[in-house]
């Protein structure tokens, strides 16, 4: 049986979109910075996570015995290209090596989270059976982290083992709908879906709203939107006056209808993953919905590319670290989380990944590394940007299937 046969068709289609062209796809600049990635991928696959073994205890909501004191090891699953790498040695991840030296804990770092739904399908059988997934720490988008927490498949973290995280987590990240009080998860990085445009392609015109993307005749045929439902629909919901954190079925249908009209008028050139980057740089795409991390990277090479925060707001989210139920090394995982909440370490990570840094004090440390990055609001948001951030509400699995199905029909997936 195919690993993903138990996924509803609409959700499976969304997974395949994301896997081939979604946020997990590689940007041009990242490819340039990791020239040997193809060869490295085979090596990563060869040293994969061991198969899960039964704990003999049903249900995933309880902790298994923690073996951290005797077993100084840790299995960490993360997204590809989502950690700092030595430019001269791609196998050297400086902040991770620093943790190993300081703690004495050996980390097996695996880049096997290519997509949230794909990863969920991979670990769901073990979690549902009350078994160890073979992973002590995973990084998942907030809505998927919330799903594991709701099912009782994440271990409650011990604040006593997280002094840096408890102290240095920025206030705006503490109020998480999917994990109230941050009892089970801590952000690895923040994400933002914004508007980007090439001012040469727009003739100097600024593009600052979804309304312009969908209706401005001067942009016709040169607009791209994202294949990720949460981001494209969230921004469209906000532009229609709905709250992306509490919208109704009617709100969603109204936003879908609005997008459909733009598609029918050929206003939209394409729905893409982050392969919009090259088109935006060349000017084939004049304006688009984009991920902030990509725009930070692209604007370094191309000063014509700028971003805008819509007056109605942008989509804000997090990629979260959590310890799966039955993991053997919870305390070791907590030690690693806490390591990345040291401001200096957080700054070193953010300088490479270019996503929003959730750690208080990291901006001052970043100024020592790169003053320009320290002043970039897409990495260290100022108050104006913070106030415009909105989240996409948690969906039930039935809602996710229904909404993804409508979105897939819209974009022809």
pLDDT, tens only, 112-154: 987 787 899 999 999 999 999 999 999 998 989 999 999 999 9
* Calpha distance 208→307 (Å, rounded): 8
Tell whether the model's pLDDT for residue 18 goes beyond 50: no
Looking at residue 9, what is its pLDDT?
Answer: 56
Tell whether the model's pLDDT for residue 43 goes beyond 60: no
Highest-confidence segment of 31-35, 162-166, 175-179, 226-230: 162-166
* Range name among 211-215, 377-381, 396-400 with the lowest pLDDT average: 396-400
Tell whether the model's pLDDT for residue 413 goes beyond 70: no
Tell whether the model's pLDDT for residue 8 goes beyond 90: no
Looking at residue 63, what is its pLDDT?
Answer: 64
* Range name among 17-31, 306-320, 336-350, 391-405 with the lowest pLDDT average: 17-31
Using a pLDDT cut of 70, give the percent of the chain over it: 84
Domains present along the chain, CATH in parentheses: 65-184+323-341 (3.40.190.10), 191-316+393-411 (3.40.190.10)
- What is the sign, positive or negative, of the torsion defined by CA atoms of 273, 289, 228, 215? negative
Q: How far apart are the first and last CA of the chain?
A: 23
pLDDT (mean) for 349-370: 95
Looking at residue 397, what is its pLDDT?
Answer: 81
Higher pLDDT: 347 or 10? It is: 347
**Which helix (H) or strand (E) element contains residue 190?**
strand 185-198
**Which helix (H) or strand (E) element contains residue 42?**
helix 37-46
Q: Write down the pTM of the prediction.
A: 0.78
* Calpha distance 255→253 (Å, rounded): 5
pLDDT (mean) for 231-246: 97
> What are the pLDDT digits (tens) for 247-293?
999 999 999 999 999 999 999 999 987 678 889 999 999 999 998 88
Is the Cβ–Cβ distance between 335 and 100 less than 8 Å? no
Looking at residue 219, what is its pLDDT?
Answer: 98
> What are the pLDDT digits (tens) for 298-329?
888 889 999 999 999 999 999 999 999 999 99
Looking at residue 57, what is its pLDDT?
Answer: 37
């Amino acid at each position: 049986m195919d690993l993903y046969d138990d996924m509803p068709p609409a959700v499976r289609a969304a997974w395949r979109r994301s896997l081939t062209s979604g946020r997990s796809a590689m940007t041009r600049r990242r490819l340039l910075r990791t020239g040997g990635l193809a060869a490295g991928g085979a090596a990563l696959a060869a040293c994969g996570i061991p198969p899960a073994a039964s704990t003999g205890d049903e249900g995933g909501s309880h902790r298994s015995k923690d073996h951290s004191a005797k077993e100084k090891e840790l299995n960490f699953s993360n997204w590809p290209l989502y950690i700092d790498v030595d430019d001269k040695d791609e196998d050297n991840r400086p902040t991770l090596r620093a943790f190993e030296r300081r703690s004495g804990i050996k980390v097996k770092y695996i880049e096997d989270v290519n997509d949230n739904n794909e990863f969920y399908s991979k670990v769901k059988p073990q979690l549902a059976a009350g078994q160890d997934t073979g992973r002590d720490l995973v990084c998942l988008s907030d809505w998927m982290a919330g799903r594991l927490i709701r099912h009782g498949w994440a271990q409650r973290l011990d604040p006593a083992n997280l002094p840096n995280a408890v102290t240095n987590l920025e206030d705006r990240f503490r109020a998480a709908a999917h994990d109230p009080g941050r009892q089970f998860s801590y952000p690895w990085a923040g994400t933002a879906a914004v508007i980007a445009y090439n001012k040469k392609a727009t003739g100097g015109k600024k593009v600052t709203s979804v309304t312009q993307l969908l209706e401005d005749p001067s942009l016709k045929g040169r607009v791209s939107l994202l294949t990720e439902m949460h981001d494209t629909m969230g921004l469209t919901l906000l532009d229609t006056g709905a709250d992306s954190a509490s919208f109704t079925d009617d709100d969603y249908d109204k936003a879908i209808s609005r997008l459909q009209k733009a598609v029918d008028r050929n206003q939209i050139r394409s729905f893409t993953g982050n392969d919009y980057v090259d088109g935006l740089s060349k000017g084939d795409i004049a304006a688009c919905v984009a991920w902030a991390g990509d725009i930070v990277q692209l604007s370094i090479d191309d000063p014509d590319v700028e971003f805008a925060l819509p007056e109605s707001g942008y989509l804000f989210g997090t990629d979260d670290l959590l310890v799966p139920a039955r993991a053997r090394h919870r305390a070791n995982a907590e030690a690693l989380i806490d390591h990345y909440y040291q401001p200096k370490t957080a700054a070193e990570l953010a300088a490479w990944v270019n996503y929003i840094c959730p750690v208080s004090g990291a901006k001052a440390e970043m100024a020592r590394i790169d003053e320009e990055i320290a002043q970039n609001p897409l990495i260290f948001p100022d108050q104006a940007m913070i106030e415009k951030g909105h989240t996409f509400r948690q969906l039930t699995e039935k809602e996710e299937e229904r909404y993804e199905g409508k979105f897939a029909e819209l974009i022809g997936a």
